[in-house]
Every structure is written in structure tokens, then in C-alpha cells.
């Protein structure tokens, strides 16, 4: 997925307009529009501000390690799904840590 699509999809999922995102990120609506349409080059500082406004992170991954990193990301995302699907009998069951004598 390209940066333009990611920014647009995340912004829309947060329910905010380009103008609101621009205001939160300290840039202009036309810059956000250009980024989302793939027509504007974005500086790293601007990208970090946009990500902060969207409650997202910028992660730079060297191409040589992409396979290993992708599997780590997939595992992490699947872990979140597994955690949501596991049932907890009670708060006590979730927090119970047995003593070493048990």
C-alpha cells in the first residue's frame, strides 16, 4: 500500500477532514490533499506530524530485512486478534499469578 492510500485510509477511519488533519499536523489542506493524491513530496517532519495527528507511527524498515520484519508484524497483528478472541472467565482469572509453591 502506498503512503497516499495509507494517509487517506487512516484519516477517513478517524473520521476527520483533510482540513482538520492539516490543522492538527501544522500544515495546509492543499498539502494533505497533495500527499493523499500522490502529487506532493512529503518531508519526514511533516509525515511525523501527520502520523502524530492520526495516532499512527512511521517505521522505516531496511529492504534486506523486510521478510523477517513482515513476519514479526503479522505475528503482532495476529496476537491482537487472538487476545480479543480469548475469553476471560473473570478479572481474577486474567490477573491471577500463582505463587511458586502452587
* SS3 annotation, 20-54: HHHHHHCCCHHHHHHHHCCCCCCCHHHHHHHHHHC
Under the banding of pLDDT at 50, 70 and 90, the label for residue 95 is: very low
What percent of the chain has pLDDT above 90? 43
Whole-angstrom distance, CA of residue 20 vs CA of residue 22:
5
Residue 15's pLDDT is: 95
- Which pTM value belongs to this model? 0.61
Mean pLDDT for the stretch of residues 83-99:
48
Residue 89's pLDDT is: 47
Model confidence at 16: pLDDT above 80: yes
Model confidence at 88: pLDDT above 50: no
Amino acid at each position: 500500500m502506498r503512503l497516499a492510500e495509507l494517509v487517506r485510509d487512516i484519516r477517513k477511519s478517524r473520521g476527520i477532514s483533510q482540513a482538520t488533519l492539516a490543522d492538527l499536523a501544522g500544515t495546509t489542506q492543499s498539502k494533505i490533499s497533495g500527499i493523499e493524491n500522490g502529487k506532493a513530496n512529503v518531508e519526514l517532519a511533516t509525515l511525523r506530524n501527520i502520523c502524530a495527528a492520526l495516532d499512527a507511527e512511521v517505521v522505516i524498515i531496511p529492504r534486506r530485512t523486510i521478510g523477517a520484519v513482515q513476519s514479526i508484524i503479522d505475528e503482532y497483528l495476529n496476537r491482537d486478534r487472538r487476545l480479543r478472541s480469548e475469553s476471560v472467565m473473570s478479572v481474577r482469572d486474567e490477573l491471577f499469578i500463582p505463587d511458586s509453591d502452587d
